[in-house]
Amino acid sequence: MTSILMVCLGNICRSPLAHGIMEHKLNPNNYYVDSAGTADYHVSAAPDRRSIKVAKENGIDISSQRGRQFQVSDFDKFDHIFVMDNSNLNNVAKLARNASDMQKVKLILDTQKETTAEIVPDPYYGDFSDFEKVFKILDKACNYWIERL
């Protein structure tokens, strides 16, 4: 079993989408996918309704996900930890205990030359079209990593 954790700030916009998209593409017998936020703002909350909507429009139900905060123990539980932006990367790096913890952590758009963005922009203060853009970016990024996991 390979385990993958998607991490953003609030765990209500970007990482729930990344979680849902990746889970949808992978065989659950071989892969476990989860998500978390570096902040505790939205612990136990459902994803943002705009993330739920854009996922649903693409055939993915993320409505039963609930927010949780990233824990140091996640370094032990997960093989791959994908973060959405440099701020998430710094926040996770602060909790890393050693180099092997950090080896698991990657920007989800790292090495993805075919997208123009290097970070997944935070759509929280944007409108629905920002969530549609994030969905497309993450869908491509997940395809990229699935070929390389």
Contact residues for ligand 4NP, defined by CB under 6 A: 8-14, 37, 41, 122, 124
Instruction: State whether the Cα torsion 54-57-60-66 is positive or negative.
Output: positive
Q: What strands lie across the sheet with 105-107, from one edge to the other?
A: 31-37, 2-8, 80-83, 105-107
Q: How far is the CB of 132 from ligand 4NP (least distance, A)?
A: 14
Closer CB to ligand 4NP, 20 or 37, in the complex: 37
Known catalytic membership, residue 13: no
CA distance 142 to 46: 22
Active-site residue (options: 8, 74, 85, 139)? 8
Closer CB to ligand 4NP, 32 or 124, in the complex: 124
Active-site residue (options: 14, 34, 50, 139)? 14
Amino acid present at 18:
A
Closer CB to ligand 4NP, 2 or 128, in the complex: 128
CA distance 66 to 45: 5
Closer CB to ligand 4NP, 14 or 80, in the complex: 14
φ, ψ for residue 49 (rounded to 5)? Answer: -60, -25
Q: How far is the CB of 122 from ligand 4NP (least distance, A)?
A: 5
CA distance 52 to 134: 13
Nearest residue to ligand 4NP on Cβ basis? 10
Active-site residue (options: 34, 74, 85, 122)? 122
Q: Which residues have a catalytic role annotated?
A: 8, 14, 122
